[in-house]
Structure 1
Amino acid sequence: MSTMKFDAVVLGAGIVGVCVAVHLQKRGRNVALVDRKLPGNETSFGNAGLIQREGVYPYAFPRDLGTLLRYARNQSPDVRYHADAMLKTAPFLWQYWRNSHPAKHAAIAKSYATLIEHCVDEHRALAAAAGASALLRHTGWIKVFRTDKARDAETRLAEQWHREYGVEFEALDAARLQQHEPHLDKTLAGGLRYTASDSVSDPNALVTAYAKYFEALGGRFFIGDADSFREGWAVDTQEGTITASSAVVALGPWSDRVSSRLGYHLPLAVKRGYHMHYAAQAAARLNHPVLDVEKSYLLAPMAKGIRLTTGAEIAHCDAPKTPTQLAAVEPIARTLFPLGARLDDEPWMGRRPCTPDMMPIIGPAKNHEDLWFAFGHAHHGLTLGPVTGRLIAEMMTLEETLVDTRPFRVERF
């Protein structure tokens, strides 16, 4: 097989890896992007399609006893677990729980919010350059509530986020919610619309457009297996062996397969999730992504239909699908919005790569020169892909970075 030389190789062609490749190529680096599938066909394929400008506080582990007992029964719509995965996951969950203490969570948010602050602007700029602006919707997204108690609690949180970080929102009473979404259940108590967030009508198409932009800039995409990656920064592909002066690991939930072989034993865990597409009955229309807060699922209007996404499943990364959460929430979702027939042959399953402090790993590997990490974005991979890509490229080319990257370095573990 032939050997091809590049300035940089990026392992992983999800939203994060593609954005890293784009930003490096824009800065004059000759970049190879490598994945076992076409861009955007793993974790980035299935998500709620939200670019969450409001997401300044990453998703914490509940700390109240009632919620923990509910999770322990393994019947909750928002979290399910595989019993055989709990022993391996327990140390991660313990650290996750500790970092979710309100004081620690608030401290984490101070760093995390610096990334979130730029998420919409960075996506819009990249989408415009890639000719994909039509895939972005600038109408925000909505949380809906079945009870006054839930509405009031979430409104207090939104007010706190507004005071601390300028998060923009609109409180919706029942009548105003119906104006925005006339086909939702008329008994809802109200909603919150996060007005500064964007949403995406087809996440896979967006990643594909960014990847095509990368190729238009002169970059090259290869089908290859990251398990063949080795020091000297070489990886085998269908077209031959790639060698590069520097390498970026952006393999999402599979990043630890590479990092652990190089001596980095990082506390990376996986939250799995499911989706299914549905037709809408008759002339019903959903205008925004809508989160049913008390029932823990989200409906999002997508190019293919109405996408129903589930909460989190704690399981081994590559364990067989168990879409029990989807089965549990589908009947409830049908009472919220008039869903029609299923449009997919089977539920899609994806894997979110998570760290116990809820922040991604972005920056240089501490024990290897010219090796870089960009993974661990949990629920905000789509949201933070362009920001992460820009930061990695700025660090690799010795530019001043958009934000202080020190809180996201691997040295914290």
Structure 2
Amino acid sequence: MRFDTIILGAGIVGVSTALHLQARGRSVCLVDRGEPGEGTSFGNAGLIERSSVIPYSFPREISKVAKYALNRSPAMRYDPLHLPKIAPWLFRYWRESSPERLAIAAKAMLPLVEASVTEHDFLVEQAGCADLIRERGWIETYRSQPAFEKAVAELNEIEPYGLRFEVLDKGKFRVLEPNLSDAVEGGIHWLDPKTVTDPAALVKAYAGLFEARQGKFARGNAASLRQDGNDWTVETADGPVSAKDVVVALGPQSSLVFQRLGYRIPLAIKRGHHMHYAMEEGTELGHSMVDAEAGYVLSPMARGIRLTTGIEFAAPAAPANTIQLDRAERFARQILPLGKRLDEKPWLGLRPCLPDMRPVIGAAPRHDGLWFNFGHAHHGLTLGPASGRLLAELMTGEKPFVDPAAYSAARFGA
């Protein structure tokens, strides 16, 4: 089977790229070892995060670093045995998180973040899945009055970005969320983002649109990719598939391809877990909430209330565990009347992260027809459609809606 383009990876990034290339007249084969939306895209907090204009950086405050070093925080956990392996990457991440370099990263990411909601809106309308989207924003929640006051005082720093928000004191918070406990002192309601009640279902809806438009989805092993003259070929359950162009959009598994082809891109993994909960009878949660001090997210989902943990640095292949989840759950039960757990075991996801806090999007420097679209860290769901559009524009010779230089693999000397 021959196509114009093969896309390796059927998560939100790969599926979005496939749709944008398809809309530009390219025949596309989407290849994944599993079903669309069953990888990292399955287990996020469901935020289309238009308000996240400052990337998640390595903390610079000594007090916060010291707290994380104790390894008891629900926001961040590390496996001591894994720490020596990840330490060089963490140092690079810390260096890139200096105020000067963080400003560079924020400027680079802003056009993609600004396009996130409108690009999703377009695909949602085309796929007919508006029932999965909620337009209530999300709430940044604070337990202590000093932390809340500090966050409010810092809002002037994001004024140039034109974001819409409402500051919620204790009284206003109770109007929006009457079932919260008195442990919450206040919050910031970010109004621009949208939320998704089932991220996996959203990716599947986009993939369904792709197939309805005569796109091909095939089960296959990305590690079988090989270059045959001017073509790229990958083995699938339906036989070998060939194309002039191939896109690596495998998220945390992207290194399986680029390392074998000789590219040294510092892709690391931040693990995360989630669990669904029932609510106590007669109660509900109306908005997604981020516990800013404990570092987890509570999201109303189709299955129940999803608790998504913060960052875990551990071997990617290590089994899922409840260590960080248990810590976060204790904090969550202090502010919300959660009922029983609904999942048999925690879900484990792998967030693909680069130390300079921006993805790799664009052509591979040394191979004709090889393209990259991975490394979206915590914001794969948010940025998938926008980065898919950017790559499709680059591949088809259109003028890109944002300067792609900041996302080039060449920045790592790859």
TM-score (norm 1): 0.97
- What code does the residue aligned with 1:81 have? Y
Structure 2 spans left out of the alignment, 5+ residues: none
Identity rate of aligned residues, in percent?
50
SS of 1:118's partner is helix
Distance 1:36 1:20, change over 3 A: same
Q: Which shifted more, 146-155 or 28-37?
A: 146-155
Deviation at 1:186, TM superposition (A): 2.5
- What code does the residue aligned with 2:155 have? A
Residue aligning to 1:206: 202
Q: Distance in 2 between matches of 1:159 and 1:218?
A: 49
SS of 1:67's partner is helix
- What code does the residue aligned with 2:373 have? A
Cα RMSD of the aligned pairs, angstroms, is 1.0
Tell me, yes or no, if the aligned pair for 1:50 and 1:200 is still in contact at 8 Å.
yes
Residue aligning to 2:15: 18
Deviation at 1:144, TM superposition (A): 1.0
Residue aligning to 1:112: 109
- What code does the residue aligned with 2:72 have? Q
Deviation at 1:128, TM superposition (A): 0.5
- What code does the residue aligned with 1:338 have? P
1:142 aligns with 2:111: no
- What code does the residue aligned with 2:350 have? R
Residue aligning to 1:170: 166
Provide Cα deviations, 1:6-32, integer angstroms capped at 9, x if missing partner: 110000001000101111111111100
SS of 1:261's partner is coil
Q: Distance in 1 between matches of 2:260 and 2:156?
A: 45
SS of 2:333's partner is helix
- What code does the residue aligned with 1:37 have? G
SS of 2:178's partner is coil
Q: Distance in 1 between matches of 2:151 and 2:99?
A: 16
Residue aligning to 1:333: 332
Provide Cα deviations, 1:263-306, integer angstroms capped at 9, x if missing partner: 10110000000000011111111111011111111110000000
Residue aligning to 1:390: 389
| Superposition pairs of residues 184-195 of structure 1, within 5 angstroms | 184-195=180-191
- What code does the residue aligned with 1:212 have? G
- What code does the residue aligned with 1:208 have? K
Q: Which runs of 4+ in 1 moved over 4 A?
A: none
Residue aligning to 1:227: 223
Tell me, yes or no, if the aligned pair for 1:253 and 1:317 is still in contact at 8 Å.
no
| Superposition pairs of residues 219-258 of structure 1, within 5 angstroms | 219-232=215-228, 233-258=232-257
Q: Distance in 2 between matches of 1:157 and 1:268?
A: 31
SS of 1:110's partner is helix
SS of 1:327's partner is helix
Residue aligning to 2:287: 288
Between Structure 1 and Structure 2, how many residues are aligned? 409
SS of 2:367's partner is coil
TM-score (norm 2): 0.97
Q: Distance in 2 between matches of 1:51 and 1:156?
A: 25
1:321 aligns with 2:323: no
Q: Which shifted more, 184-193 or 17-26?
A: 184-193
Tell me, yes or no, if the aligned pair for 1:60 and 1:96 is still in contact at 8 Å.
yes
Tell me, yes or no, if the aligned pair for 2:75 and 2:296 is still in contact at 8 Å.
yes
Structure 1 spans left out of the alignment, 5+ residues: none
Deviation at 1:159, TM superposition (A): 2.7
Provide Cα deviations, 1:370-405, integer angstroms capped at 9, x if missing partner: 111000000000000000111111110101112111
Q: Distance in 2 between matches of 1:153 and 1:213?
A: 45
SS of 1:222's partner is strand
1:51 aligns with 2:48: yes
Q: Which residue of 67, 73, 83 corresponds with 2:70? A: 73
Q: Distance in 1 between matches of 2:78 and 2:181?
A: 30
SS of 2:156's partner is helix
SS of 1:104's partner is helix
Q: Distance in 2 between matches of 1:319 and 1:365?
A: 30
| Superposition pairs of residues 94-109 of structure 1, within 5 angstroms | 94-109=91-106
- What code does the residue aligned with 2:179 have? H
Q: Distance in 1 between matches of 2:4 and 2:387?
A: 19
Tell me, yes or no, if the aligned pair for 2:271 and 2:311 is still in contact at 8 Å.
yes
Q: Distance in 1 between matches of 2:269 and 2:31?
A: 22
Provide Cα deviations, 1:344-370, integer angstroms capped at 9, x if missing partner: 010000000000000011111011111
Deviation at 1:153, TM superposition (A): 2.1
- What code does the residue aligned with 2:346 have? P
Deviation at 1:325, TM superposition (A): 0.5
Q: Which shifted more, 231-240 or 272-281?
A: 231-240
Q: Distance in 2 between matches of 1:36 and 1:159?
A: 46
| Superposition pairs of residues 123-134 of structure 1, within 5 angstroms | 123-134=120-131
